[in-house]
Structure 1
């Protein structure tokens, strides 16, 4: 067997073990899982998630997922908690503690301290008979028969199981809260979905200068304006109102059709009544217009129907709208 075959064999073995562990989870979910979800849902405070070692890393990921799906969560390292960070926990908070064995020294010190504060404790552990499981108000059974590690030592299957159960917990809460894609966008304003929900034309036209010429501007001035503003287009305006548009394509066609340019003005080659959009319209509306008319630039106007700027297709692509 060559090196490639051995590597793939080992990788498939790892995936097989973890796949089996995940598949078993749905059969092991019981009323305690639902109890844990409802306890978090009905809590007045936050979810404080804690753990040690690799479980602490998984805890941080669960915190991130909960926060992004509408459930306030804070990470607290179990070792730091007993050295000052216990103050992270407020009276109305619920504590979710991750520990594969459920009996690490840090957990044995931390849990009694939390119980003395009368905070609800949810355990996520593989060992239902562990110290953590016995002390908890609710148990999420993160059963992992064996690690994928050939020595059954490195946390692999156990952390995968914790990660998957964290997702199940977060999405069960998402469903209870009726958390919509609009809500998700509010928590992810920098993501593609958030931008699609909130980004306006005014946000994009502010990135550029406003190319514009008057109707009687000579062709040289038009070419310079298009080149200088680097948008491949210029608006033609009279007293701030848009009367036409000239694109670099219009310039090329003019050069092909006219040997003599003397006397030609912006009005001579402009397209009248160009497509426009209000500057406070959503960027997605602008995209619909661009796609409908197979154009790459769109002129924006304000409340007085005055010229406000240019939106370019590339702006939408850059922001992930397209």
Structure 2
């Protein structure tokens, strides 16, 4: 008979006050090398919420891998109330190849909830839902911007759901952005099961960003204290997050070489010049202006742009 609040993941029973590393089989490479989903389960001494942390659903988004490592380093099972399910690398295939995608070129975060007999992406999504999401009461999914952009640290969540909004407020990132869920995303699939989930966006692909990692680690610590899972006894800085209801992309009206005059996190005014686009010889110069008042939450890092490319992402600020 299982002891009180023993948790079973992939047919492995993890008793209270124990931490266990599991490698759940996913597939085999053409060489027959086995690829597994790494999961660290920390089951607390007392029952409580079951929080999952996931990173690298896009294999080149590595800030979250380090965030989870630092969180696990701070947790002792005997002081934990509830269960922490940590999956530092969900897309192991992409992580190895330093790629956003799976070998079938599918985006894992458009493949949830998946099926047991579908594509590789669909099978991995199904496995994650079965073993992780279905055993959780709350979730935090960690991301960075897609190459070649960089993101300001931000929480994206359904702020119209009161429970999720309180969850997001507890994380205390600089920005808290209301975002509806996309079909096929992990956030959508978890929300369909009534599980509050936060998506943390910060930094850029294939780069460690110290500030983004620090805010992510402290945010998870705040969340665990809010859920009464753990007491870290640390003096964390209050950020007082700004709630955002709408965002807008500024797109390149022409192709060329982009010169931005603004920085990530900067506030801009309507019609403010954000930069300019030239040709390779400097014969022409086209000004890029902000369509609205807002905060720069993402910007492109590669100066070579095509017409229609998203170059600056703004969190829109209502007139005071």
Q: TM over 0.5: same fold?
A: no
Between Structure 1 and Structure 2, which shows a larger proportion of helix residues? 1
Of the two, which has the highest radius of gyration? 1
Between Structure 1 and Structure 2, which shows a larger proportion of strand residues? 2
